[in-house]
Amino acid sequence: MGSLVLRDVTKRFGQITAASDISLRADSGRILGLLGPNGAGKTTVIRIIANILTADEGSVTLNEHEVGAWSQEQMGYLPEERGLYKKIKVQDQLRYLAQLKGMPRMEAMDQIQYWLDRLGIEKWGARKVQDLSKGMQQKVQFIATILAHPKLIILDEPFSGLDPVNSELLCDIIAELKENGRIILLASHRMDQVEKLCDDICLIAKGKILLSGDLREVKRRFKREKLALEYTGSLRLLDELEKKGTIQYLERSEDGCILHLSDGCHPRDLLEQLLLVDGLELFRFELLQPTLNEIFIQTVGDS
Amino acid sequence: MMSRKSLLIMRNECWRRVTSRTFILTTLLGPALLVGLLALVIIGVSSSIGDEFGGKNESLRIAIIDKTGVLGDQMIRENDGNHVLFHFDGDHDSAVEDAVSSRMDAFILIPETIISGTGQPVLYSFQDRGFRVQLELAGIIERSLKDHLLLEANVTDDIRAILDRSVGLDFALTGYEDAQSTANSSLDVDATTDDVGIVMMGTILALMMYMTILIYGTLIMYGVIEERSTRVVEIIVSSVRPIDLMMGKVLGIGLVGLIQMLTWLLIIIGGLVFASPIVGLFVDPAMVDASSQEVLSSIDLILSELSIQLVMAIVVYFIGGYLMYGGLLAAVGSMVDSPQDAQTLLIPVIIPIMAPMMFLSVILLSPNGAISMGLSLFPLTSPVTMAVRLAIGSVPVWQLLISLASLIVSVFGAIWVSAQIYRSSILMYGKKPSLKTVFTYLKTC
């Protein structure tokens, strides 16, 4: 089983520390989501992993070997700042980029045809990049990233510029690559996609890791302060609690509501009280997990 | 040793450029323009040769107001028939009147004092008659005056012949051993060096090296700027080391230059062969043949000056210069977002390329002088300067060794420094380039 491991990685640019003591691990067959606000240091960390920048301190290993020129052939990198040669034909460009990754020419040609078909742009292979729409260029860039069978795939905002249908198509391919045992690093601001795809997350802000680990565990670590109720009957009790400030309605309908519990209100106490209410039939009493978006906003806000 | 990836980049850089429409057009049209220009020169030269021999020149009617009373007749005798010379008995004002009524095109006033050497003749005309007419007439007057004075002094023909003799001076390069071997024998005529050939070769060589380094070096810079501005560079440097990318680019574009120049050479040679009949439509074919012969004999003259050692030395300096400047210009390109931003950083790189061209006449006139020596030892100016010096004369071995050593060290140094700047700056967007930034990049390496 392969893995990418960063240990206490620090990178400074003059007086600015872009990454400070970053330690993280990404395993094959899993997707690690690299999250953080703009200017958090994600791109610096990614460039260090891709061996574009060298860390001032710490180490980066891919399958237990220090990254270097050798590891560049083992990784595919889709940078946030997209770039292709405008005046070169799609297939020539893809072949060149695959060859730079060490892929033999003929194999590259076969793979190019396969991926162009798979992404529905097979008719555009002989056209110059400048003739393609932004979405199509994005697909070409994605193909360039995964073409040479990289063990480590780094995707920085892979869904930007794509419509929902193509986003879904890319999601399927990424999931498939994960099943094939690749190590995948996904940096995105699209929390819904990250939540859907990632197994682990690492949240960075101001060059430091604020939060990391298995996504489900991270969610569990966060206090469940939201409660979903479904019922029939009168619930004057809740109105009284709201007046006292113990709870706060977030959503309300005829047969249910979503509540925010204040610090002094324990869910078990509330349930006991509700069960004592005459004529109330309770169908659902669920402590809701926080969404990744909420975790992101809360963590970054607190920092 | 070049890496496999550098080779791949080199091939890609070369292939995508030589197959581009722009390259094909410039490669084909460049020599067409040059051959056209050459044809015009040949036509011009041919017609001036025609003028020289009285073919199609403008014949002027020139009156002589001779105040000496003796030189006028002599001048009419000395006239080679190019112009019509005749006596005019009036003064300056009446001559002007005649000139107005078109009875003459110009007139010469020969003062009496010319005999004693204090007066100077004057050519009057309403139009500018050109320097050539002035020279022709001055020659006639000078010969007439000389004849008159020698006759007055009763100088015999033998003494005249002595006075008319002129001596040239040939120049030959020779070392101590050569001097020993030639001490007992007369100097071999073949060993002499033709100074016209030397100057031509030196100038052509300097121009070629200067132009090539500048044109293809700038092309490297634009290539780097293109990769930066299209952001494709981030993908490339995630696959290859920046130095491999830079070297691949420098060598790939160098190869493009080589292909372009070889193509040009072939087209120009072909053009010269086929241009003669076309030019022959406009001028006398005999004149064209004479001009073509001139060109061919000049080429022959240049080739006769070349030896294998010399060619090898020139190639070494050329490659060294190209690599050094190619690397530096790639570094300049890596620091800017657009060609306009490159201007500030280009100045310190361009000036050393231009320096040997600015001092070319000094180098040609005094190849072993202090300026020539200084420029050929300083690595940034040595490629052009030393190549020219080697082509036109002998260079002391110690200078050659110092120059080569400093060039080799500088080539590696320049490539290393450029690679460091390239590596640090290639992904830094939006920064205004300055020399301070360059030092910052070097410090962070």
Q: Is 50 exceeded by the pLDDT of residue B180?
A: no
Q: Any idea what DSSP says for residue A124?
A: G
Residues A204, A35 contacting (CB under 8 angstroms): yes
Residue B296 phi/psi, 5-degree rounding, is -65, -40
Cα gap A45→B59, rounded to integer Å: 85
Q: Any idea what DSSP says for residue A290?
A: P
Residues B376, B406 contacting (CB under 8 angstroms): no
Per residue in B8-32, pLDDT (tens digit) is 999 999 998 898 888 888 888 877 7
Q: Round the CA-based radius of gyration of chain A to a whole number and report it.
A: 24
A302 lies within 8 A of chain B by CB: no
Query: In angstroms, what CA-CA distances link B310 with B176, B316, B377?
Result: 20, 10, 18
| ipTM (interface predicted TM) | 0.81
Q: What is the pLDDT of residue B281?
A: 63
Domains located in chain B, CATH noted: 4-49+193-444 (no CATH), 61-164 (3.40.190.10)
Cα gap B65→B339, rounded to integer Å: 66
Residue A184 phi/psi, 5-degree rounding, is -120, 130
Q: What is the pLDDT of residue B106?
A: 87
Cross-chain Cβ contact B230/A84 below 8 Å: yes
Mean pLDDT, chain B, rounded, equals 79
pLDDT category at A26 given cuts 50, 70, 90 is: very high
First to last CA, chain A: 35
pLDDT category at B182 given cuts 50, 70, 90 is: very low
Residues A229, A282 contacting (CB under 8 angstroms): yes
For residues B388-405, average pLDDT: 86
For residue A77, what are the β-bridge partners?
A154
For residues B231-251, average pLDDT: 88
Mean pLDDT, chain A, rounded, equals 88
The residues in A 81-120 lying below 8 A from B, measured between CB atoms, are 81-88, 92, 96-97, 99-101
Sheet containing B84-87: give its strands across: B84-87, B61-66, B106-110, B122-125
Per residue in A39-95, pLDDT (tens digit) is 888 999 999 999 988 899 999 999 999 998 889 999 999 998 888 888 889 999 999
For residues A197-206, average pLDDT: 91
Give ∠ CA B443-B234-A68 in degrees, rounded to 5.
70
CB pairs A-B closer than 8 Å:
57
Cross-chain Cβ contact A52/B234 below 8 Å: yes
Three-state SS annotation for B85-97: EEECCCCHHHHHH
Task: Show residues of chain B in contact with A69, CB under 8 Å.
Answer: 240-241
Domains located in chain A, CATH noted: 3-220 (3.40.50.300), 222-302 (3.30.70.340)
User: A83 CA to chain B: closest CA distance, Å?
Assistant: 4
Q: Is 60 exceeded by the pLDDT of residue B175?
A: no
